[in-house]
Amino acid sequence: MRHATDSICAGLLCVCATFVALAQQPNKTTAAVPRLVKFSGTLTGSSGQPMSGVVGVTFALYEEERGGAPLWMETQNVQADGNGRYTAVLGATRNEGIPAEVFASGQGRWLGVQPQQEPERPRVLMASVPYALKAVDAETLGGLPASAFALAGTANHSPVTEPAAGSGKPVHQDAPATPDQTGSGTTNYITIWTGTTTLGNSKLYQTAAGNVGLGTTAATAKLEAITASASGTAVLGDASSATGANFGVTGKTASATGTGVLGQATAASGADFGVYGSTASPAGTGVYGANKATTGFAYGVYGATASTTGIGVEGVATSATGVNFGVLGLTPSTTGAGVLGQATATSGADYGVYGTTVSPNGISVYGLATTGTGVGGVTSGPAGYGVYGDNLATAGNAFGVFGESASSAGYAVYGTNSATTGPAYGIFGTTASTAGIGALGAATAATGTTYGVYGTTVSPAGISVYGTATSGTGVAGGSSGSSGYGVYGENAATTGNAIGVYGNTLSPAGIGVSANATAGGTALLAIATGGGMAAQFTGPVKITGNLTVTGTVSKGGGSFRIDHPLDPEHKYLYHSFVESPDMMNIYNGVVTLSRRGDAVVMLPDWFDALNRDFRYQLTCIGGFAPVYVASEVSGNQFKIGGGKPGMKISWQVTGIRKDAFANEHRIPVEESKPPVE
């Protein structure tokens, strides 16, 4: 600041010399003495670096070195060189210059200099020359020219001045011309040309702190715009270029708790917007928010509304073609959110994030995260939605909500509902198209534990992922990963009727949950890690293909159903399963006795290793003989004796399983029901 002070003082000394020179010259004309003060200074920023280029500077004159209201002030644009040096003329922005009464009292005056977006620098005591402006008043009477006191009828006469040199007679000269500019203004309002030669107030108001307001005289930010219209827009960003990655509005903040762009619609009714952005470019962005903070709960774009039917942030992609986005949010923070929508109202049909698209191939809400969460939705309302996607297209591959993640451990769509009661949804999607999808999650990574759709709930009666369809598919999931899941549902509750994936259909021919493996893989994989049921079906279950069960099958009854051999086109044939309290195997056959009336029955080579506790049944065919088991099973065979040569014997042998799995998982014949059943 000492450099700036030295430069200002140097400028004032130059001005002093100028005023002295003017005082020594004879007064040969009647041109008004300009109420201007020329001086030089040096501008530096808060960090001490010189400011260069065009800089807005507010100059103010005070009675005191500190405190007090300014006697006079104005704002100019000055041109600073590479070292911050500049020259300005005080009073140049107004026709009358600096009012003479500012220096009329003869008291000292202090000059304050405030560069744009900087605090006012320490004031400088002005030198004596500016007070010489009071001398102008000596040519007037009470501030009025002598012509103001002329008698009637002399208005057109020229004023009398000193005698011409050598004549001894007074001469007349023309009165000074009045300035061309006219008009009036109000203190602190920024001036605007209201005509070719007139000035007046603009809509911009500058506070003493240097804040500029549009629609307000109490701006609390460097630039604040306010509209009172229920359907108006406070700030509209419009990127009209049809090409290029241009932005309607760009907001940046380096603060871990700051906001790149904050839009607030305070009207309690009407279709008002907190932030509204539109672009005509297929590759452009209506509203783009980038938060460069790598830690903290930082927002790229944050929108809030106090209306129960309002929208915090609404993104509309009006182009019917192209890969356009209603709202696109990106964040490089592992704990950040590309787009965060919060519906804080505890009632009403409010949305944390709401997106619409009129394109059949468009995306209502699209979230892309390189490491974090593509789209995250949170609601505290018992009947609210964490993320709600609604696609009104009646045809085409339209999506209510579409999520995509390139991270092997990321989530395409992740929804969390913190409400512990009520029909609260982590993710809810609806579509009016017969070929549309309410919610589609695609995990495109070919490796890793990726999820097409992942849902969690902490409510004992909650649902991780819930799909309802009046005619289409309740929940559909697809995965191209070799170890990925088309649909993955996990319920973290350790008690209660917690469900990982729940499907329900109201159509008599509909399907609550449909699983299909077209490449020979597994159609449905269900895992219950807490000892509960991995899958529960209420209603008929149809499996087209093979059913493999690695555990125990418990059923109320069982049978096979085949086409009736006598009428396969019109009838089925059912046979019931044979039940036993033991894990029993049955073997049978027919053998012909030898000349000695006996026979050895050969069994499979794994028979002894698999079975124990054998039981035998022998029946003669075509006659009677006292046949018996001559030798029991040993070495995978047994012997029949006591029959007639050439006689046929029907035999049956049963055994109880003794393999390792059977020994580990014996089926209890009787057990008590748990209290919940």
pLDDT of 439 reads 73
Cα–Cα distance for residue pair 393/359, rounded to 1 Å: 8
Distances (CA, A) of 545 to 515, 518, 520, 523: 12, 11, 9, 10
DSSP state of 609: H
Q: Count of domains in the chain?
A: 2
**Mean pLDDT in residue range 266-270:** 67
Among the listed residues 615, 620, 626, the one whose alpha carbon sits nearest the alpha carbon of residue 649: 620
130-139, 283-292, 323-332: range with lowest mean pLDDT? 130-139
**Mean pLDDT in residue range 555-583:** 88
* Token pair 């229920």 in the structure block, residue: 230
Among the listed residues 19, 15, 37, 36, the one whose alpha carbon sits nearest the alpha carbon of residue 97: 36
% of the chain residues with pLDDT over 70: 63
* Cβ neighbours of residue 205 closer than 8 Å, sequence gap 6 or more: 188, 189, 190, 212, 213, 214, 216, 217, 219
Cα–Cα distance for residue pair 561/439, rounded to 1 Å: 37
pLDDT of 95 reads 82
Cα–Cα distance for residue pair 388/466, rounded to 1 Å: 13
Which of 145, 178, 203 is the last residue in one of the domains?
Answer: 145
DSSP state of 242: S
Q: Is residue 570 part of a domain?
A: no
Which of 98, 123, 145 is the last residue in one of the domains?
Answer: 145
18-32, 181-195, 260-274: range with lowest mean pLDDT? 18-32
**Mean pLDDT in residue range 590-602:** 97
Among the listed residues 472, 466, 477, the one whose alpha carbon sits nearest the alpha carbon of residue 442: 477
Cross-strand pairs, 44: 50
- How far does CA 64 lie from the centroid of its chain? 52
> Which span out of 3-12, 212-221, 299-308, 360-369 was modeled with the highest average pLDDT?
212-221
- DSSP string for 7-60: HHHHHHHHHHHHHHHHHHS-----PPPP--EEEEEE-B-TTSPBP-EEEEEEEE
How would residue 652 be classed by pLDDT, with cut points 50, 70 and 90? very high
Which two tokens mark 364? 């209502």
Cα–Cα distance for residue pair 477/452, rounded to 1 Å: 6
16 phi, psi to nearest 5 deg: -60, -45
Cross-strand pairs, 502: 466
**Mean pLDDT in residue range 608-619:** 96
* Token pair 């005080």 in the structure block, residue: 90
Cross-strand pairs, 354: 314, 388
- DSSP string for 312-356: S-EEEE--SSSS-BS-EEE---TT-BSSEEEE--SSSS-BSSEEE
- DSSP string for 562-604: EE-SS-TTT-EEEEEPPP-SS-EEEEEEEEE--TTS-EEEE--
Please give the single-letter amino acid code of residue 399: F
pLDDT of 28 reads 46
pLDDT of 537 reads 81
**Mean pLDDT in residue range 344-350:** 67
In whole numbers, what is the pLDDT of the chain averaged over residues? 75
Q: Is residue 105 part of a domain?
A: yes
pLDDT of 308 reads 64
Where residue 63 sits, what CATH number does that domain have? 2.60.40
pLDDT at 442 over 60: yes
β-strands 170-172, 182-183 pairing: unpaired
Q: Is 470 exposed, middle or buried (0-12, 13-18, 19+ CB in 10 A)?
A: exposed
* Higher pLDDT pick, 664 / 157: 664
pLDDT at 158 over 50: no
Q: Is residue 220 part of a domain?
A: no
pLDDT of 176 reads 45
* Cβ neighbours of residue 504 closer than 8 Å, sequence gap 6 or more: 466, 467, 468, 474, 512
pLDDT of 584 reads 94
* Contact criterion met (CB below 8 Å) for 95 and 181: yes
Cα–Cα distance for residue pair 411/405, rounded to 1 Å: 6
**Mean pLDDT in residue range 276-300:** 71
pLDDT of 270 reads 67
**Mean pLDDT in residue range 421-425:** 69
pLDDT of 549 reads 83
pLDDT of 617 reads 97
pLDDT of 649 reads 97
* Contact criterion met (CB below 8 Å) for 138 and 152: no
pLDDT at 432 over 80: no
% of the chain residues with pLDDT over 90: 18
- E strand or H helix that includes residue 478: strand 476-479
- How far does CA 474 lie from the centroid of its chain? 26
Cα–Cα distance for residue pair 451/477, rounded to 1 Å: 9
646 phi, psi to nearest 5 deg: 80, 0
* Cβ neighbours of residue 537 closer than 8 Å, sequence gap 6 or more: 512, 513
Interval 180-201: pLDDT, tens: 667 778 889 998 888 877 888 8
pLDDT at 54 over 80: yes
> Which span out of 8-17, 69-78, 122-131, 240-249 was modeled with the highest average pLDDT?
69-78
Please give the single-letter amino acid code of residue 655: G
Greatest alpha-carbon span in the chain: 178
Distances (CA, A) of 164 to 23, 26, 157, 185: 20, 12, 18, 42
- E strand or H helix that includes residue 5: helix 2-24
120-124, 481-485, 642-646: range with lowest mean pLDDT? 481-485
Would the pTM count as exceeding 0.85? no
Which two tokens mark 319? 């182009």
Cross-strand pairs, 617: 652
pLDDT of 174 reads 42
Q: Is residue 273 part of a domain?
A: no
Which two tokens mark 385? 């939605």
* Contact criterion met (CB below 8 Å) for 402 and 444: no
Which of 97, 118, 145 is the last residue in one of the domains?
Answer: 145
How would residue 254 be classed by pLDDT, with cut points 50, 70 and 90? confident
How would residue 9 be classed by pLDDT, with cut points 50, 70 and 90? very low
Q: Is residue 468 part of a domain?
A: no
pLDDT of 382 reads 64
Structural domain boundaries, residue 44: 2-145
64-73, 100-109, 436-445, 464-473: range with lowest mean pLDDT? 464-473
pLDDT of 615 reads 97
Interval 305-328: pLDDT, tens: 666 666 767 767 666 666 667 677
Q: Is residue 626 part of a domain?
A: yes
* Contact criterion met (CB below 8 Å) for 285 and 325: yes
* Contact criterion met (CB below 8 Å) for 592 and 647: yes
Q: Is residue 588 part of a domain?
A: yes
pLDDT of 262 reads 72
* Higher pLDDT pick, 536 / 161: 536
**Mean pLDDT in residue range 21-35:** 52
pLDDT of 5 reads 41
Cα–Cα distance for residue pair 649/670, rounded to 1 Å: 38
Which two tokens mark 150? 């002329």
pLDDT at 86 over 70: yes
pLDDT of 481 reads 61
- Angle, vertex CA 446, rays to CA 441 and CA 451, nearest 5: 30
Among the listed residues 355, 342, 422, the one whose alpha carbon sits nearest the alpha carbon of residue 388: 355
Three-class SS state of 259: strand
Which two tokens mark 136? 């102008």
Q: Is residue 340 part of a domain?
A: no
